[in-house]
Structure 1
Amino acid sequence: MIRHLVLFKLNDGVDRDGDERVAAGAKAFEELGGLVPGLREWQCGWNTTARDIAYDFAINSLVDDREALEAYVGHPAHQAAAAQWREFATWVIADIEV
């Protein structure tokens, strides 16, 4: 099993509550869990702490293996959601075997 973690940081000047792109991007990821076969677990949401080192949004997902992870990454719904986020955020990922 592979735990796929992604942390998103909104770009400077991007307002989480006032930017329609951000709302659309969050919605795209919220819906993604039900669209991609092979996702065993899917969680995403906004950070609830206000610390300088904190990221703004996170995804926590679980897949069976590397093949399932590659299928998720290449899935058209994932590609479309990630493309939205590229407009207003940066991110880091970690894929860990569990």
Structure 2
Amino acid sequence: MIRHLVLFKLNEGVSRDEPRVVAGARAFAELGGKIPELEYWECGWNISDRPIAHDFAINSAVADADALTRYLEHPDHQAGVGQWREFATWVIADYEF
């Protein structure tokens, strides 16, 4: 199994209640039921107010590297990424467990 973690940081001046951000969060929340490669899916807003904290997180798992590639290339994933690209940056970690 591969764990796929993503931490998003909203760009300066962007708030989580903006309509485009709300739509982006909704798009990611719905991915769990749309992409068959996802063995595990959860996402949500960070509750920490520490200065180093990111704003939104995805924690997911897929069976193997091929499944990860299919997930990353899936049109619904690409659509969500396109939305987030407009208002956030992110870091990822993919590891086997």
Same fold? TM cut 0.5 = yes
Match of 1:8 in 2: 8
Q: Secondary structure at the match of 1:38?
A: coil
Q: Which 4+ stretches in 1 moved above 6 angstroms? A: none
Match of 2:44 in 1: 45
TM-score relative to the length of structure 1: 0.98
Match of 1:29 in 2: 28
Shift of 1:15: 1.0
CA distance in 2, matches of 1:88, 1:23: 11
Aligned length: 97
TM-score relative to the length of structure 2: 0.99
Runs of at least 5 residues in structure 1 that lack an aligned partner in the other structure: none
Shift of 1:97: 0.4
